[in-house]
Chain A
C-alpha cells in the first residue's frame, strides 16, 4: 500500500461519516446507489491515487426529523472489548450506560459455548457517576475504579469507555490511563466512544479495534504463525474452522470471547479476513498497513460465487490453490442435491433483509442462491467504501452484478415507523433482521422474522443450506403474525399508515407545519381513540 489510512498514533478514531462517507438515509435502486457511491474513485484515494473531482465525493443523504430507539458506539465497544475473557472494561459513565451489559453477558455466554470455552461472566465495572461528579469532575472516581478493576479481575488489560456525560464534562481519560498504567502494570486503553459522537454505531467497532491495535496487538512479532488466520467476527459459531481446515489454517477469532493472548498474536497471523466488511474493515486494514498482515481482498464468503472467490483469495495467500480447488469442487457437489430441494421449496417466495450494510449484501446473496426473490432491502447505514477499499470489496456492486438489482434499496438507521411503507411497496414472505427494534413491528404487520442471533449461520456453502432449513420454520410462523395483525394495533396514526413513502416527512417538511388537532382527554377535546381500541 502506498498510503496509510489509519493513524494509530492518535488515541481517537475519525468517525465513519468523515473517513468513509457513511450515510444513514437513502432510498432508491441499489444500482443507483452504486453509481452515486463512486467506489472506484474513493478506493483510488485510499490507495494514494489521484481521483478525478466528481460527484462521488458527497453522497446525498436523507435526514429524518423522526428517529427512534437505536444503538450507539458506546454499546458497540461494550459488546467488543467488554466480551474478552481476561480484560476488563470500565464504563466511565452514570450507571444507565451499563444497562446493556447483562445482554452482552448473555452474548458472551453463548459465544463461549459456541467456541468451546469455559463459561464466565464479563469483566465489567462502572464508575457509576452522580450529579456532583458532573459538577466537580469524575477523575478521582475513575482512578479508584481502575484500582477496583485491577483488584477484582486481575485483568491483562483495562479499557476505559467514554460516555456522553463524561465527554461533555471533558474527562481526560487519555491522561489518566497513561498516568495509572505504571502503577497498575497492565495496558490501560482509553476509548473515545461516546454515544453522540458518530451518527452510526459502527464507528464503535473501529474505536474498539483501534484500542487493541494500539496497545495489545504485538508491534514487533518475533515469529510468524503461517497456519493462523485472523477472522474478525462477533460471537458466531465456529463454522470458519471447517471451511479453512482444508487449506491447513487455524482460526484466530477477533474480538468477542478472545483472550489478551489471542489478540496479541494477531500480527503473527498469515492473513486477516472477516464475515462482514463493515465490521472487519478497520481491523483488517490496520493490520495490513501497520503490521504487515495482508487482508483478503475478495467478495465476502456468502453464496456459492462469493465463497468460491473468498476461498481462492485466501488459498493464493497461503499457497494452497490446489487444495482449495479440490475443496470447492467437492463442496459444490455435496450441497447440490439439498440446494435443489430447497430451491424447489422456495419457488415464488420473497424475502427482505434488514441488517447492517455489508452483512445484508451477504444475506441477500444467500437468499438468491435459494431462489428467493428480493424486491427490497433495508440497511442501517451505507459505507460508500470500506477502509480496505480493495478491488473486490465493493460488496453492493458484487451483489447487484451477481444476483440482480434491488428496486427498493433503503438506507435507514432503525426507524421502525417506516416499516408500514417499506412493507407495503415490496413483495415479501418473511424478513431477516439483525438488531433489536424492528422485528416486532414487522411481526405486527403480519410478517414472520428470523433474527440472526448467530451471525455465522449464513456463511459458506453449508450456510446456504442452514438458512434454507431455518427459513422453512420461519415461514410457518406466519400464522402467529397473522393473529397479531388481526388483533393488535401499532402506535401509528391513520394518516401515517395511509402514506406510501417511508421518507415522506423528509420529502415534505411542510407536513410538520400542519399538525393534527390536539386530542386531549383532560381538556375533553378531540376523539377518544387509543383507550377505546385498547
Chain B
C-alpha cells in the first residue's frame, strides 16, 4: 500500500488508552464506605475497568463490594433479545439479600443503554419501598470514567441525598477532589488535603477514601457552608449542580497544591473565601513551614552536592490534575526544565483555555505549551520526538512509556494509569508531606543509578 493512500486527517482511533469508560465509575461507588455498586452491564465490562483503574494503576486493590465482589448482570444474548429488566430485577433482589450495604448504585452500561431498558423506573420502585438505591446511565459510549464519575455523584445527590431545607454550617466544607482509583494516589492525597484543611480551621466532609465515614457524610453535603473543588475540571459540574440544588456556593481551585509555598497560598485562598478566622490558619501555616523547611534544608545538601548526575529536564503526561500539579511543583519549586507536557484525560472544551493559561503562568520566566492528546500512539510519538539536551531526563508518565524511557535512557516515574511497575498503598505527593515524598521518590531512583 502506498503511503499516499493513507488518510492523514486526525482520526478517532486510540492506542494505548489512558482512561476507562463511564461504567468504570463503579469505582467512585467503591470509594464510598459501605456503598455497593450494581453493574448492569455485560460480563467483562467491570473486570476491564477494575483491571485498568485498580490493578494496572499501582495495584491499589479494592475494598468491600469492589472488584470480584461486585454484583454484575453479566448480560446474555437472551437479555439483548428479550430485554434485561428481569435479569436486573433478580440481581437487585439478590444483592439486597446477600450484601450488607448502606447505599446501592445501579450503573447501566452500553447494553442497557442500547436496548432501551427502563432501569430508572425499576430502581425507583425499590427506592419507593425505602431502599437506598439510585440508578445512573453510564454507557461506555457516552464518555470516559471521569464523565461517569460526575454522573454518579449527581445521581447520588439527586436520588439519595435529596432535598434539604436546613441551615448551612459555617466552616464545614465538602471536599471534591481527585477521582477515586483513577488518580492513583487518591487515598493518600485525600488524607493530606483533609489534614491541611482541618489544620487551617475547617471541618472537612470527606466523601471518598480512608477518612470517609460512609454515606452519613453524603447526607451532610447540603449542611456544608460551601463546596471546594480542587481539580482543573473534574467535579466542577457537580459543584454547579449543588449550587443550583441547594444554593450552596463553591470555590474552584484548579491546581492541587504541592510544597509549602503553594499550600500556604491554597490555604489562604480557601480561608478568604470562607471568611473564617485567619488566626488558626496562619498558625498552622507557620508550624507546617517550620517542619517542611527543616526537611528541605537537609535535602538541599544532597541536591547541591550529589555529583553522579540527576535529571534536569522532564516530560510529563497524565490527567489534567496531576500534570498541572506536578509540573508546577517541579518547575516552580525545584527548577526542573519542562520539555513536554501532555494532558490525556480529554477535558471538556470549555476548560481547556483555563488549563492552558495555568501552564503559561506556571512560574516566573517559564511558559509551558501544554498539549491535549488522548491517543497513546500520538502521546508516545510526541515524547519520542523530544530531544533532551543532556544527562538523564525524567519521564513522568504511564507504563505504556517503559520502552520509550529505555530508548531515551530516561528515568520513568509512573504517575498515571496504566502503572504496572509501581505498588501504591498509602502514598501522596501533594500538600506539605506529599511534596517531600515526591522528592524522595524521584531522587531515590536517581541515586539508585536506575
Contacts and interface: CB of A to CB of B under 8 A. Distances in A.
A75 B49 CA distance: 12
B382 to A, nearest CB: 14
Nearest to A141: B12
A483 to B, nearest CB: 15
Contacts of A103: 51-52, 55-56, 418, 420
Contacts of A121: 16, 400, 402-403
Interface string B20-58: 111110000000011010010011111111111101100
A148 interface: yes
Given A94-B140, A128-B14, A512-B93, A531 B1 contact: no
Nearest to A493: B100
Contacts of B68: 68-69, 414, 416, 436-438, 440-441
Interface string B59-78: 00110110111111111110
A169 B114 contact: yes
B161 interface: yes
Contacts of A195: 42-45, 75
Nearest to B9: A144
Interface string A337-363: 000000000000000000000000000
A133 B111 contact: no
B55 to A, nearest CB: 6
Contact of A94 (B1, B44, B95, B110): B110
A103 B65 CA distance: 22
Contacts of B121: none
Interface in B69-101: 69-77, 79-80, 90-91, 93-101
A486 interface: no
Nearest to A488: B63
B347 interface: no
B399 interface: yes
B216 interface: yes
B413 interface: no
Interface in A506-534: 511-512, 515-516, 518-523, 525, 528-531, 534
Nearest to A134: B141
A126 B110 contact: no
A131 B99 contact: no
Given A96-B24, A119-B403, A516 B96 contact: yes
A403 interface: no
A199 B76 contact: yes
Contacts of B110: 94, 96, 163-165, 168
Contacts of B131: 518, 520
Contacts of B45: 72, 96, 164, 195
A205 interface: no
Contacts of A106: 56, 399, 418, 420
A201 interface: yes
Interface residues of B, number: 97
A197 interface: yes
Given A103-B55, A440-B61, A441-B69, A120 B140 contact: no
B214 interface: yes
Interface in A53-75: 65-75
B130 interface: yes
A437 B67 contact: yes
Nearest to A129: B141
A96 B48 contact: yes
Contacts of B75: 164, 195-196
B91 A65 contact: yes
A195 B23 CA distance: 15
B400 A105 contact: yes
B311 interface: no
A113 to B, nearest CB: 12
Given A97-B48, A491-B69, A126 B102 contact: no
Given A94-B141, A126-B15, A505-B94, A100 B69 contact: no
A133 B79 contact: no
A525 B141 contact: no
B98 A417 contact: yes
A93 to B, nearest CB: 8
Interface in B96-145: 96-102, 109-111, 114-115, 129-132, 139-142, 144-145
Of the candidates B19, B34, B399, the one having the most CB atoms from chain A within 10 angstroms of its own CB is B34
Interface string B395-415: 000111011001000000000
A165 B400 contact: no
B28 to A, nearest CB: 15
A197 B77 contact: yes
Nearest to B50: A69
B8 to A, nearest CB: 9
Interface in B4-19: 5-7, 11-17, 19
A199 B162 CA distance: 39
15 contacts: A67-B91, A94-B140, A94-B141, A106-B420, A125-B14, A128-B13, A131-B141, A134-B114, A145-B11, A437-B67, A437-B68, A438-B68, A516-B96, A529-B34, A531-B213
Give me the 3 closest cross-chain CB pairs, A-B, nearest first: A437-B68, A96-B21, A72-B44
Given A69-B47, A106-B399, 9 more contacts: A125-B377, A126-B13, A128-B12, A144-B11, A490-B69, A491-B64, A515-B93, A531-B102, A531-B216
